Amino acid sequence: MINFAQGEFAVFGGLLTYTFSCVLHIPILLAAVIAIICTAIIGALMERLFIYPLRNAQIINVIIATIGVSILLKALARLFWPEEAYKVPEFTSSSLTFLGVTQRSQTLWVFGLTLIAVMLTYIFFNHTRVGKGMKACSINREAASLVGINISNMSLYSFSLSAALGGAAGLINAPYASYGSGLFLGVKGFTSAVVGGLGNTFGAIFGGLLVGLIEELIAGFLQVVFGISSGYRDAITALILIVVLLLRPQGIFGRREGVKV
Amino acid sequence: MLKVEGLSSFYGHIEALRAVDLRVRAGDITTILGSNGAGKTTLLRTISGLVPARYGRILYFGKDITNLRPERMVKMGISHVPEGRQIFGDMTVRENLELGAYLRYRRDPSSAIKKDMDFVFKLFPILKERESQVAGTLSGGEQQMLAIGRALMSKPRLLLLDEPSNGLAPKVIRDIFACLQQLHQEGITILLVEQDVQIALNIADYGYILRAGKIVLEGTAEELSQNQTIKEIYLGE
């Protein structure tokens, strides 16, 4: 299932971190943890209020409901954080030079924490009982309930977990957070997942790197050669999405849909 | 052991079951026979909680279990092998079997679960050979064996089976039914839904004929195989 409110979780992760750290003056790491917990709670509420009541509906209706939730969350974010953008503090504010390239130290945090999140997610889905149950639910809900898995709880856990991960991504990644950026964060995530092959964890990571690189290279190329503003970079992502959906809808690592009878 | 009283349920807007009464005695193989669309699958799905019962009730050891969620049924020892096998195709054979024991990891020591997995591998040696293979790549017969094996991993007292013969070659069907008989000897009670009347009556103790959502005939397997109407309609004699 695709959750189009995923980008909104990232926005909330960033905005909440801003409030906790810059307004309430909580140390940044603690502020980040609280923000992640809050985002997880938002995800859980979303599941109970909007997804759970649709548990017997067709999947397309549920997906449309997630679009509705994303609009709602965006409006809420705008209500509480009306400014165009908020500066989310970095974990450490030094910069470092490696092979002649100077980088913000935040880049290292992004890299390291992403790696840890990916490893934890992998371990969770493949080596823990609840994680395997969740995976079973995603493959076949009915069969999962017949082996004794409580599918309603699993849905709640998975929404909380993905909201927490989205929130974490939003707060480590964005130097700025704004109520309006959720949609394109979501589209970028979705594009990465589609490029790698929907449902394939490592495909999604690879897709993310690939989409980021392509976007950066094309935006840079357009700016240097034609003087076109890099503000068009979001359009590049959308273009990648369209091209992949047209030419290879199963993604790079995806298999074609097919059921053996 | 299991008693169904006046059970009615709907498939969409169609009344798929009309006041069905049936009994499953502990230790028996009870079979529900009937043609396509007679309501056999809906009956099993209602018993295991996948389809809500509109009227009537289901008693298990005298306890009312009508409309409990499927995972509660598993906890109480009722395990359903669904129509079309419904294995977890992206997971390995071993992972499928482990998920069968999902509710037992907190309750039972891992040695007990290991013992049951060995039992399943002894019953279906081919699954042992395919242990780390992705389940979706198995043949139809192997998938059926895996579905039964997965259901056994919850250590059921009552096994509900929905058309295990469906789409399989005669030899594979014989193998699977021989295994069902073996399970029966181990003391597992079986409620078997089948379209293949002959093969079901061969191993069953008692049977019901379901037609258009109603029980139209019941009797011991022997009585049913001697019944003139059944001979004509279902056995083609």
Quick: pLDDT tens for A20-65.
988 998 988 899 999 999 999 999 999 999 999 998 888 899 999 9
Q: Is residue A228 situated within a structural domain? A: yes
Q: Is residue A143 part of a domain?
A: yes
Does pLDDT of A258 surpass 60?
Answer: no
Gap from B42 CA to chain A (nearest CA, Å): 14
Calculate how close chain B gets to A261, using CA atoms only, in Å: 7
- Total number of domains in chain A: 2
Q: Domain check: are A146 and A193 in the same one? A: no
- Say if A27 falls within a structural domain: yes
CA distance B162 to B83: 5
One domain for residues A119 and A201: no
Residue B147: pLDDT over 70: yes
For residues A117 and A146, membership in a common domain is answered with yes
Question: Quick one: A30 and A130 in the same domain?
Answer: yes
The residues, any chain, with a CB within 8 Å of residue A64's CB and separated by 6 or more, are none
Contact residues for B209 (Cβ-Cβ < 8 A; gap 6+): B33, B34, B215, B216, B217, B218, B224, B230, B234
Nearest CA in chain A to B154: A147
**β-strands A101-104, A95-98: how paired?**
antiparallel
pLDDT tens-place string over residues B170-225: 999 999 999 999 999 999 999 999 998 989 999 999 999 999 999 999 999 999 98
**Chain A residue numbers touching B48 (CB-CB < 8 A):** 146
The pLDDT assigned to B116 comes to 95
Q: Do B86 and A148 touch (CB under 8 A)?
A: no
Identify the domain boundary among A140, A158, A177: A177
How confident is the model at residue B236, as a pLDDT? 65
Beta bridge partner(s), residue B215: B210
Q: Say yes or no to pLDDT of A260 above 50.
A: no
Task: Report whether B207 contacts B218 (CB < 8 A).
Answer: yes
Determine which of A78-87, A127-136, B122-131 has the lowest per-residue pLDDT on average.
Answer: A78-87
- Residues A154, A240, single domain; the answer is no
| Alpha-carbon distance A243 to nearest alpha carbon in chain B (angstroms) | 28
Shortest Cα distance from A147 to chain B (angstroms)? 5
Q: Is the Cβ pair B82, A148 closer than 8 Å?
A: no
Residue A234 and residue A105 share a domain = no
Between residues B108 and A177, which one has the greater pLDDT? Answer: B108
Please report the pLDDT score of residue A174 as a whole number: 64
Chain B: closest CA distance from residue A16 (Å): 37
Residue A244 lies in a domain: yes
d(CA A160, CA B99): 23
Instruction: Give the Cα separation of B65 and B59 in Å (integer).
Output: 6
Q: Is the pLDDT of residue A257 over 60?
A: no
> Quick one: B28 exposed, middle or buried, by C-beta within 10 A (0-12, 13-18, 19+)?
middle
Which residues of B are less than 8 Å from A129 in CB distance? Answer: 102, 105
Are B6 and B21 contacting, i.e. CB atoms less than 8 angstroms apart? yes
In this structure, what token pair is assigned to residue A205? 């990571």
Gap between the Cα atoms of B71 and B116, Å rounded: 20
Facing residue for B88 by CB, picked from A139, A145, A261: A139
Mean pLDDT of chain B: 93
Please indicate, yes or no, whether residues A130 and A215 belong to a single structural domain of this protein.
Answer: no
The Cα–Cα gap between B45 and B40 comes to 9
Q: What residues pair up with B160 in beta bridges, in sequence order? A: B80, B191
Residues of B with CB below 8 A from A135's CB? 91
- Fill in the DSSP letter of residue A94: -
Regarding whether A187 and A141 lie in a shared domain, the answer is: no
Of B71, B95, B154, the CB nearest to A150: B71
Closest by Cβ to B154, choosing from A140, A148, A259: A148
pLDDT of residue A81 exceeding 50, the answer is yes
- Residues B82, A139: C-beta atoms closer than 8 Å: no
Best of A142, A147, A149 to disrupt the B interface (most B CBs within 10 Å) is A147
Do A136 and B98 lie within an 8 Å CB cutoff?
no
Q: Are strands B2-11 and B14-24 parallel, antiparallel or unpaired?
A: antiparallel
Partner-chain contact A146 B86, CB within 8 Å: yes
Closest-CA residue to B161 (of B80, B43, B218) = B80
Distance CA B77, CA B7 (A): 21
Q: What span, in angstroms and rounded, lies between the C-alpha atoms of A176 and A167?
A: 14
Task: State the nearest Cα–Cα gap between B5 and chain A, in angstroms.
Answer: 23
Residue A55 domain flag: yes
- Please check whether residue A138 lies inside any domain of the structure: yes
**Which residues touch B90 (CB under 8 Å, ≥6 apart)?**
A139, B134, B135, B136
Q: Please give the residue range of the domain that contains residue A190.
A: 183-253
Rounded to a whole number of angstroms, the distance from the CA of A55 to the nearest CA of chain B is: 13
Query: Would you call B69 and A145 a contact, using CB atoms and an 8 Å cutoff?
Result: yes
Residues of chain A that touch chain B, judged by Cβ-Cβ distance less than 8 Å:
129, 132-133, 135-136, 139-140, 142-150, 259-261
Spatial separation of the C-alpha atoms in residues A45 and A66, rounded to whole Å: 13
Q: Which of A110, A144, A177 is the last residue of a domain?
A: A177
A144 chain-B contacts, CB cut-off 8 A: 99
- CB spacing of B74 vs A140 below 8 angstroms: no
Mean pLDDT, rounded, for B27-36:
93
pLDDT, average across residues B101-106: 90
Asked whether residue A260 is assigned to any structural domain, the reply reads no
Q: How many CB atoms lie within 10 A of CB B11?
A: 16
Same domain, A105 and A200: no
Q: Would you state the pLDDT for residue A261?
A: 38
Q: CB–CB of A222/A214 below 8 Å?
A: no
- At B22 the pLDDT is 94
Contacts of B70 in chain A (CB under 8 A): 145-146, 148
A93 pLDDT above the threshold of 80? no
Least confident span in A115-119, A226-230, B218-222: A226-230
Is residue A101 over pLDDT 80?
no
Of all residues in chain B, what percent carry a pLDDT higher than 90? 84
Whole-number average pLDDT of chain A: 86
Name the residue facing A147 among B50, B140, B150 (closest C-beta). B150
What is the pLDDT, as a whole number, of residue A145? 95
Nearest to B215, CA basis, from B53, B8, B28: B8
> Quick one: pLDDT band at residue A256, thresholds 50, 70, 90?
low
The reply to whether A25 and A147 lie within a common domain is yes
Residues A173, A204 share a domain:
no
Mean pLDDT to the nearest integer, A91-118 = 79
Mean per-residue pLDDT, A98-109: 76
Is position A258 within any domain?
no
Residue of chain A minimizing CA distance to B95: A132
Q: Select from B88, B100, B106, B111 the least CA-distant residue to B149.
A: B100
Give yes or no for residue A198 having a pLDDT over 80.
no
| Cα B191 to Cα B45: distance, rounded to the nearest angstrom | 12
Task: Please give the Cα distance from B28 to B185 (Å, whole number).
Answer: 10
Q: Which of A159, A177, A195 is the last residue of a domain?
A: A177
Residues A82 and A154 in one domain: yes
Residues of chain B that touch chain A, judged by Cβ-Cβ distance less than 8 Å? 48, 50, 69-71, 74-75, 79-80, 82, 86-91, 95, 98-100, 102-103, 105, 136-137, 140, 150-151, 153-154, 167
Q: Which residues of A touch B87 (CB under 8 A)?
A: 140, 143
Is there a contact between A136 and B99 if contact means CB atoms under 8 Å apart? yes
Residue B59 has pLDDT above 80, yes or no: yes
Q: Do A146 and B98 touch (CB under 8 A)?
A: no
Task: Show the tokens assigned to B182.
Answer: 């073996």
Ranges B7-11, B22-26, B158-162: which has the least confidence: B7-11
Asked casually if ipTM beats, i.e. exceeds, 0.85, the reply is: yes
